[in-house]
Structure 1
C-alpha cells in the first residue's frame, strides 16, 4: 500500500458517505491505480458497482482481494460479506479464518461471521469460530445464541437449550432465543415456556420482528400442549406481524411462469451445454416443508453423496450471466435474458464451485426447494444434473408453511389466499417441467417416503445413477448437520404421523382449503 492509495481511499469513503457515488467510484479506481489490489478500495469499489447495478464487474473486482493480506479485522469481515453476496463459498470460508477477525472484532461481528459460515454449510469453521469467540466473550448474547443454533443443527438439543437460556438470562428481550427454545423439543405440561412467552408477547413492539418471533414460539408450544384455540390466536398474530415486515406481490409469479413457458420449450431445455460436471448435482426441489430435508438426509448417508444443503449456487451463475443481481430469485426479465445467455459459461462457473459444494464426493445434493423455478435453466446448463421433486399433500404442505417462521424466504406464506395462490403456481410450474423434461424429473411422494422409505430411496438412487446402498432411511444416525426449519425433527427417524395436523384448525383454514380446491 502507498500513502497515495490510502489518501485516495479516505477521500472515496467521504464521497460515499455523502452519497456521491460517481465521485466515490472515481476515487476508488484512482486508489487502485496507485496500489493495485488494495483491499479497502477493492471492497469500496465493488460496493459502489453493486449500487449502480454493475453486478459482473463488481464480482470481478472483489475477487482480486481474495488471498491478499488484510490489515484490519473490519476488512476481513467486510470482504466476507462481499464474498457471501456473490456466493464465493470457498473463498468466504478461508477469509473468515483469518486470526485478525477473532482477535480484533466485537462480539456482534463475530456472531455475524459465525452465521455467514453456517449459512454456507461451513460447519466446522463456524463451530471453531463460535467456540473461540465465546472463550473471549463468554457473556455475549448473540454469540450464545448462534452457538445454540450450531448445537441444534448438530442434534444436541440439551446443549442448544442451555445456550438459549443463557442468552435470555443475559438479555430477556432476545426474542429469537425464545422462538428457538420452542422448537428444540416437544413441550409438555410439566416443562414449557408458555408463561414467559406470553409475558414477552406483551413486551414486544406491535408489528415488530420480535413480536413475530414470540408469537410463532407461543403457537408452537400451545400446539404441543393441545391448546389449539390459543395456538391459532398466536399464529394469526405472528403471521400479521410478519406480513407487516415482509411484503408480497403475486403478479411477478404469474409473469415468471408465462416467461418460462415462452422461453423454456422442449427444444431449448434439451439443447444442453457441452461442459462436463466432474461432480454431479442432485437438485431436490418442491415447496418448503415438503420433505426435501428428509430426503437429503437419507442421501447424505450414501458414501458417494455430499450434502451441500440449501445454496443459491446456480442463481449466482445466472446473475453473472445476465449481469444482474436476483435477490429474490429468478424473475421474468431474467428468463427472457437467459434465452440468449452463454450456458457453457454458466456450466463452467458452476463447475468451479462444485468440488467445494460436494466436499470432493462424485455426487452432491442441492436442496434449495425454490430451485423448482430453475429446473429448465439447470437442465439446459447441466445435462448431467439430476432432479428429485418432493410432492406432498397440498393442505399439509401449505399449513406447514403457514406455521413456519422463515428467514428471508417464502414471503407468500403469511396470508392464506397468497399461500394457496403460490402453491397453485408452483404446481403449474412443475407441470410444465414434466411436459418439457418427462424423463429428467422424478416425482417422489412424501407419503411414500415416510411409509416405505427403503423402497422409495432405492428408486431415487436408481434415478440418480447411484449404486444401491441399504439402510439409508436411518436418518437418526449421528453426524451431519441440518440447518433448516426441519432441524428439530430431522434426527427423530422417519415420522409417519406428521400428516393431517391442519385438521386441528379446520374451521380457521377454510379459506386455504377453498383456494386449493381442485
Structure 2
C-alpha cells in the first residue's frame, strides 16, 4: 500500500471503531517517515480521536515541519499539544508569535492556555487585548468571563454590555458563547433575571430537536440496567492482580462538583492530577456497549482476556500523560455507564459519587457553555430528562456495588470540607492532609467549565443559587417531578 492508502485506512478503521488497527497504522506511518505532506494534519486529528496522544504529538511535528514558520500551522500544532495536556510546550511554541503576529488567534490561544494552568492575571491580559482588537470574538468573551469577576463600575462590564447590540441580530451558533459570557457578567452584578434571559438566548441558538433524544437515552440506560444486574456481576470474574496505584473514579453529573473534588484530591501529596480522561471509553470502543451488556453469556476465561486487554489499554493510555507511580483522578462523564465493568477491571480502585441539589445543578448546567458541546444542557426539560436517566443508573450501581461506591454531596464538600474529604481519603486508604484545602493555589491543569471557579477558596455562594431564578426553572422542576413519580 502507498503511504496515502495507509493514511486512508486509518480513517476507515477509526470510523469502524477499529482503534487498535488505526493506532498500529499510525505508528507504522511515523516509523517509515511517510510522505503525507499536509495529510499529517488529518492523521494527527485521528490519533487524538482514539487517545493516541504520543502519536498525535509526533504526527503534529511532521505537519509543522512542512512549513515551520507559518503562524496558523504553529497554532494548530500548539492546540494539539494543549489537548494532549502538554500545555507548557504549547505556550512555548506560540509565545514567539507575539513579536511578529500579535493577532486575535495568538492572543486567544495564550489567554486560554494560561487560564487552564492557573496563570489568571496573564490570561486576562491576553484576553482583554483580544476583545479590544476583535470585539466580536464570542469565544474570547466567554473565556474571559470565566476568569473575570465583573462589577458595575468595571470597564469590561460596560464594554460587554454595549457589545450586545452588535450580536443582537446575528442568529449564528458561532455567537452563542457571547450570550453565555454576558449572562455571567449579569450574574456577577446580581442581575439574575437579566442573566437568565441572556443564557436563554445563548441556549436558544444552540438547541434544536436533535440536540438530545430523551427516548434514545432512556433506552440506552434501560439496556444497561436490564442486562448488567446482580446475576451479571456474579458471573463475571475480577482481575486477580490489584493495581499498585489504581485510578480514583469520580462519578457525577456535569456541574455537580466533580472538578472541585478532583482538584482537592489531586492536591494530596500521594495523588496525581486527572480530569476527563476518556481512557476507558477508548479502551472499550472496539467492544461496544451492546457486547459489554452481554459479557455474562461468555466463558469466564474469555472475559478475563477481555478485562485484561481493557486494563492494559487503559494503563497504556494513562502512561502517555501521567506517571503510573501515583493514582490519578478520572472524572470522565461516561464513567457512570461502566461502573459494573470498572468494579471487575479495577477491583481495588476507589469509586466516589458526588451529588448536588438538582435545581442548583440544573441552573449551573443551563448557564454554562460546555466546550465539547452537551446537547441536553440547552433546554430545561432535556436537563431534567438527562438527570433522571443518569441518576436511575447511578442508583442501580449503588444497589449492586454497595460500599464499593462512596456517595458524598456537593453541599457537604462546601460546608464540611475537612470531614467530607476525610471520608473520601479513608475510602481510598489514605490519610488526610490539611494542605488539600489550599487546592486553589495549585497550577494544575483544568480544561472544564470550572476553570475559573477552582482557582478560588471554597465559599458557600454556590449553594442555593437557583433560588434567585426559581420561577424560571419551572420547566425543569415540573418535568423532573413527572419523571420521578412515573
TM-score (norm 2): 0.89
Q: Which of 426, 447, 457 is the matching residue for 1:493? A: 457
Counterpart mapping for 1:120-199 below 5 A: 120-132=84-96, 134-135=97-98, 137-191=100-154, 192-199=156-163
CA deviation after TM superposition for structure 1 residue 56, in Å: 4.4
The separation in 2 between residues aligned to 1:163 and 1:68, in whole angstroms, is: 41
CA deviation after TM superposition for structure 1 residue 70, in Å: 5.9
1:273-304 CA deviation, whole Å, 9 max, x = no partner?
34554541111110011111111111111222
The separation in 2 between residues aligned to 1:203 and 1:130, in whole angstroms, is: 30
Is the partner of 1:363 in helix, strand or coil? coil
Is the Cα contact below 8 Å between 1:182 and 1:217 reproduced in 2? Answer: yes
Is the partner of 1:283 in helix, strand or coil? strand
Q: Are 1:263 and 2:227 counterparts?
A: yes
Is the partner of 2:436 in helix, strand or coil? coil
The separation in 1 between residues aligned to 2:36 and 2:249, in whole angstroms, is: 39
Aligned length, in residue pairs: 472
Gap change, CA 1:65 and 1:378, over 3 Å in 2 = farther
In angstroms, what is the RMSD of aligned CA positions? 2.6
The separation in 1 between residues aligned to 2:210 and 2:65, in whole angstroms, is: 32
Deviates more, 1:486-495 or 1:269-278: 269-278
Q: Are 1:249 and 2:213 counterparts?
A: yes
Gap change, CA 1:196 and 1:462, over 3 Å in 2 = closer
Gap change, CA 1:361 and 1:56, over 3 Å in 2 = closer
Is the Cα contact below 8 Å between 1:304 and 1:361 reproduced in 2? Answer: no
Q: Are 1:232 and 2:196 counterparts?
A: yes
Q: Are 1:438 and 2:402 counterparts?
A: yes
CA deviation after TM superposition for structure 1 residue 212, in Å: 0.9
Q: Which of 336, 347, 352 is the matching residue for 2:293? A: 336
The separation in 2 between residues aligned to 1:49 and 1:352, in whole angstroms, is: 20
Is the Cα contact below 8 Å between 1:392 and 1:445 reproduced in 2? Answer: yes
Counterpart mapping for 1:265-344 below 5 A: 265-269=229-233, 271-274=237-240, 276-322=242-288, 333=290, 335-336=292-293, 340=298, 342-344=306-308
Is the Cα contact below 8 Å between 1:76 and 1:101 reproduced in 2? Answer: no
1:136-158 CA deviation, whole Å, 9 max, x = no partner?
75323222212101111122222
Q: Are 1:418 and 2:382 counterparts?
A: yes
1:97-128 CA deviation, whole Å, 9 max, x = no partner?
56944953643343333333323322222222
TM-score (norm 1): 0.84
The separation in 2 between residues aligned to 1:256 and 1:182, in whole angstroms, is: 36
Which structure is higher in helix share? 2
Is the partner of 1:321 in helix, strand or coil? coil
Deviates more, 1:58-67 or 1:84-93: 58-67
The separation in 1 between residues aligned to 2:469 and 2:327, in whole angstroms, is: 41
Gap change, CA 1:462 and 1:66, over 3 Å in 2 = farther
Is the partner of 1:476 in helix, strand or coil? helix
Deviates more, 1:95-104 or 1:461-470: 95-104
The separation in 1 between residues aligned to 2:88 and 2:294, in whole angstroms, is: 39
The separation in 2 between residues aligned to 1:399 and 1:384, in whole angstroms, is: 35
The separation in 2 between residues aligned to 1:47 and 1:448, in whole angstroms, is: 47
CA deviation after TM superposition for structure 1 residue 458, in Å: 1.6
The separation in 1 between residues aligned to 2:291 and 2:152, in whole angstroms, is: 52
The separation in 1 between residues aligned to 2:208 and 2:130, in whole angstroms, is: 27
Is the Cα contact below 8 Å between 1:277 and 1:384 reproduced in 2? Answer: yes
Which residue in the other structure is 2:326 paired with? Answer: 362
Is the Cα contact below 8 Å between 1:475 and 1:494 reproduced in 2? Answer: no
Gap change, CA 1:477 and 1:513, over 3 Å in 2 = same
The separation in 2 between residues aligned to 1:371 and 1:463, in whole angstroms, is: 18
Q: Are 1:471 and 2:435 counterparts?
A: yes
Higher relative contact order (Cα pairs below 8 Å, separated by 6+ residues): 2
Gap change, CA 1:100 and 1:402, over 3 Å in 2 = closer
Is the Cα contact below 8 Å between 2:228 and 2:293 reproduced in 1? Answer: no
Is the Cα contact below 8 Å between 2:271 and 2:326 reproduced in 1? Answer: yes
Gap change, CA 1:54 and 1:355, over 3 Å in 2 = closer
Which residue in the other structure is 1:117 paired with? Answer: 81
Deviates more, 1:241-250 or 1:295-304: 241-250
